Amino acid sequence: MAVAQRYDVGSGTEFPEGVIVGKNIGGQDVVFIRRLGKVQCYFDQCTHQPVKLSRCGEATAGKLVCQVHGGTFDLDNSGAVLVDPPMDALKSFVCEETAGQVAVYI
C-alpha cells in the first residue's frame, strides 16, 4: 500500500463553509467541503456513475447530494451513503488545517 503524500492546497479562506471546491491535487481530481468548520476532501466522482461532484454535487445540511440521480452522502460520516442509488461511500482523504493553511494527504 502506498504511503499518502502531503500536499499544501491553500489558505483556509479558499474553502468557505458548505461550498464544494474542486481541485486537481497530485493528479487526482478531488473536492473539498468545509463542514462545521472542518475541511474534508473526497475523490471528485460519484460512486454511482462517473460524474464529477464538483459539477453535479450540492452540499447542504451535512449532506453531499449528487444531482444526477439524488444519491446522497453523509458529510458527518466520511462520505457514507445515506440515499441510493450509490452503494459505496465516497473515497475520502485526510485533511488538516494549521495556521490557516489547508493540507491533504493523497
Interface ranges with ligand FES (CB under 6 A): 46, 48-49, 51, 66, 68-69, 71, 85-86
Q: Considering beta carbons, is residue 68 or 80 the nearer one to ligand FES?
A: 68
Name the grid cell of 79: 462520505
Q: How far is the CB of 3 from ligand FES (least distance, A)?
A: 30
Q: In what order do the strands lie in the sheet with 38-43?
A: 6-11, 101-105, 92-98, 38-43, 28-35, 20-25
Q: How far is the CB of 60 from ligand FES (least distance, A)?
A: 15
Q: Considering beta carbons, is residue 51 or 103 the nearer one to ligand FES?
A: 51
Q: Is residue 53 within a helix (H) or strand (E), and if so which, with residue range?
A: helix 53-56
Q: How far is the CB of 87 from ligand FES (least distance, A)?
A: 10
Q: Considering beta carbons, is residue 26 or 70 the nearer one to ligand FES?
A: 70
The 3-state DSSP class for residue 12 equals helix
Q: Considering beta carbons, is residue 12 or 85 the nearer one to ligand FES?
A: 85
Pick from 91, 81, 77, 79: nearest CA to 43 = 91
